[in-house]
């Protein structure tokens, strides 16, 4: 399934379940929102989001104190906090956040290129997953976008439809 088909399925599923979505994107730079907003009807389900690429943006837009940011601004706990904050700020049913290292170099010694974290919050639950993607910068970014949408689809199927 291609990116546009994934996004279309997501928009349809969100609409049929009457769910709203917020995004906090770091390494994907707004690409998830871009895929979703390419689909007619996206405005009924996507409330908005923040591209918080730098540490300063994470602090200013999401209110995450600078001392709480991990080295390289990539990690599971940070991604969890980002999802919870953007969901609270926009008052949505669901939120997704993503951080990662696209390369060609790593933002910190403890982070490998291709390491991506995706967190989804909603229905009083939250989950986060770590991925290691291979390839160049664009390939890793595209994989992170696809994994984000796929994980949203699975989360909705598990907690809202099951």
Q: What is the pLDDT of residues 50-101, one digit of tens each?
A: 999 999 999 999 999 999 999 999 999 999 999 999 999 999 999 999 999 9
Edge-to-edge strand ranges of the sheet holding 21-25: 46-51, 21-25, 94-100, 115-122, 125-132
Question: What pLDDT, in 10s, does the model give residues 93-148?
Answer: 999 999 999 999 999 999 999 999 999 999 899 999 999 999 999 999 999 999 99
Domain span at residue 69 reads 3-161
> What's the pLDDT score for residue 135?
98
> What's the pLDDT score for residue 161?
82
Q: Residue 2: how many CB atoms within 10 A of its CB?
A: 8
Whole-prediction pTM: 0.97
> What's the pLDDT score for residue 160?
83
Q: How many domains does the chain have?
A: 1
Q: State the CATH number of the domain containing residue 72.
A: 3.90.950.20
Question: What pLDDT, in 10s, does the model give residues 24-39?
Answer: 999 999 999 999 999 9
> What's the pLDDT score for residue 162?
62
- Angle among Cα 26, 96, 42 to the nearest 5 degrees reads 100
Does 1 have pLDDT greater than 80?
A: no
Q: Minimal CA–CA distance to 23: which of 40, 44, 56, 45? A: 45
């Amino acid at each position: 399934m291609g990116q546009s088909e994934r996004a279309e399925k997501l928009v349809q599923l969100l609409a049929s379940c009457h769910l709203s979505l917020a995004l906090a994107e770091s390494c994907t730079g707004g690409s998830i929102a871009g895929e979703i907003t390419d689909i007619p009807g996206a405005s009924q389900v996507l409330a908005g989001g923040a591209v918080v690429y730098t540490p300063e943006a994470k602090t200013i837009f999401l209110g995450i104190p600078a001392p709480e940011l991990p080295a390289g601004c990539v990690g599971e706990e940070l991604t969890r906090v980002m999802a919870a904050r953007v969901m609270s700020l926009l008052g949505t049913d669901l939120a997704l956040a993503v951080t990662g290292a696209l390369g060609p170099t790593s933002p910190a010694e403890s982070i490998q290129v291709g390491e991506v974290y995706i967190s989804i919050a909603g229905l009083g639950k939250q989950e986060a997953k770590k991925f290691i993607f291979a390839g160049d910068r664009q390939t890793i970014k595209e994989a992170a976008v696809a994994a984000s949408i796929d994980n949203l689809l699975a989360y909705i199927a598990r907690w809202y439809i099951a």
